[in-house]
């Protein structure tokens, strides 16, 4: 015979499970792939497999993982990649893929024997995320991918990036009937590749903040009306970042009225990140995510696809990504 305490405890657990099921009626997707852990550019490279472990561990310890629906990323096809990359470049990446060891495409960007598969699955993750939110199978999605993508240009790998994941996803959305999308990039480094792919394309609004001067040393000289690039000086804290979002991003997003919101979610503007000098904290990432959720609720039927870009201080990355995902779950 169960004690009254045991009965109450069982009832409470059942209630929590029921609440969890209800909260996940239209869940947040979490998309990743085993190949991302095999892509490795050397023992001292900051863009390392441990980055995904830091995020996954934090999601578990913060109690968020049960509220996510997990998916395995498919590999992007040549036709899907060719919406934003030249076919010559896609062939080049295939040809440069090494059988053993490391092969450097630029001083910062290397391939090992698993990198090509990882890059195809990283782009495929954003394609799957786009399909999931457009079909309403999921409310929104976070793609925990490597390698990152926003520096990859139509015919060039750079800045740790092989294929431009967020651009592949945005092009997929447009190819499947949407008329307007927006790409929001809060990585500390400017998303030069995304800018190159969509400059003067009125269907795509890109809004970004980035530290300047800092790699890739651009982002100030594009007069295209669909590019809203806001440079921030080293040492800028959350107040300055939030002011840029409020004054520049949000009005542009309101005018554009995107039908789907993509996020290049780089967490390397955190004050603990070793590769840059902005001073954001976890609360800033939670705040900007809530602001973007508000935009998506007004114009995009709550549809958001977020994909990992930078973030190289492992503890800060894990904490920041978890707060970002927490807000997506709560949307």
Model confidence over 42-95: pLDDT tens digits?
999 999 999 999 999 999 999 999 999 999 999 999 999 999 999 999 999 999
Residue at 261 is within a domain: yes
Residue at 247 is within a domain: yes
Q: What is the pLDDT of residue 94?
A: 98
Is beta strand 103-106 parallel, antiparallel or unpaired with respect to 109-111? antiparallel
CA distance 314 to 99: 30
Model confidence over 175-226: pLDDT tens digits?
999 999 999 999 999 999 999 999 999 999 999 999 999 999 999 988 899 9
Model confidence over 266-302: pLDDT tens digits?
999 999 999 999 999 999 999 999 999 999 999 999 9
Model confidence over 4-46: pLDDT tens digits?
444 443 344 334 333 544 444 799 999 999 999 999 999 999 9
CA dihedral 32, 36, 37, 39 (to 10 degrees): 180
- Domain extent, residue 260, equals 28-330
CA distance 229 to 211: 11
Residue at 3 is within a domain: no
**CATH code, domain carrying 164:** 3.40.800.20
Catalytic residue, chosen from 39, 121, 150, 151, is 151
Residue at 8 is within a domain: no
> What average pLDDT is seen over the chain?
94
CA distance 165 to 183: 12
Residue at 4 is within a domain: no
Residue at 13 is within a domain: no
Whether this prediction's pTM lies above 0.85 is answered by yes
Model confidence over 94-111: pLDDT tens digits?
999 999 999 999 999 999
Residue at 160 is within a domain: yes
Q: What is the pLDDT of residue 38?
A: 98
* 172 catalytic per annotation: no
Residue at 126 is within a domain: yes
Q: How many domains does the chain have?
A: 1
Q: Would you say 245 and 203 are in contact if contact means Cβ atoms under 8 Å apart?
A: no
Q: Would you say 284 and 320 are in contact if contact means Cβ atoms under 8 Å apart?
A: no
């Amino acid at each position: 015979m169960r004690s009254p305490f045991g009965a109450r405890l069982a009832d409470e657990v059942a209630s929590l499970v029921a609440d969890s099921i209800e909260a996940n009626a239209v869940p947040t997707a979490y998309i990743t792939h085993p190949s991302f852990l095999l892509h490795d550019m050397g023992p001292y490279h900051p863009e390392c497999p441990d980055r995904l472990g830091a995020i996954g561990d934090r999601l578990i310890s913060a109690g968020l993982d049960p509220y996510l629906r997990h998916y395995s990323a498919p590999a992007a096809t040549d036709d899907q990649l060719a919406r934003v990359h030249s076919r010559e470049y896609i062939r080049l990446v295939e040809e440069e893929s090494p059988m053993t060891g490391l092969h450097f495409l630029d001083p910062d960007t290397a391939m090992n024997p698993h990198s090509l598969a990882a890059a195809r699955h990283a782009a495929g993750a954003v394609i799957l995320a786009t399909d999931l939110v457009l079909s309403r199978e999921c409310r929104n999605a976070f793609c925990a991918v490597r390698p990152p993508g926003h520096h990859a240009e139509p015919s060039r790998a750079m800045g740790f990036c092989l294929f431009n994941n967020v651009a592949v996803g945005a092009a997929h959305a447009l190819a499947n009937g949407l008329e307007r999308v927006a790409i929001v990039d809060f990585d500390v480094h400017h998303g030069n590749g995304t800018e190159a792919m969509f400059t003067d394309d009125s269907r795509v609004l890109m809004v970004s903040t980035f530290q300047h001067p800092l790699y890739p040393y651009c982002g100030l000289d594009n007069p295209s009306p669909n590019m809203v690039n806001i440079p921030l000086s080293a040492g800028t804290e959350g107040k300055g970042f939030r002011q840029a979002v409020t004054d520049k991003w949000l009005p542009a997003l309101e005018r554009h009225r995107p039908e789907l919101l993509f996020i290049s979610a780089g967490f390397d503007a955190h004050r603990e990140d070793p590769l840059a000098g902005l001073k954001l904290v976890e609360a800033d990432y939670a705040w900007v995510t809530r602001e973007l959720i508000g935009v998506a609720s007004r114009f995009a039927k709550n549809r958001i696809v977020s994909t990992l870009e930078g973030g190289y201080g492992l503890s800060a990355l894990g904490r920041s990504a978890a707060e970002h995902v927490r807000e997506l779950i709560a949307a």
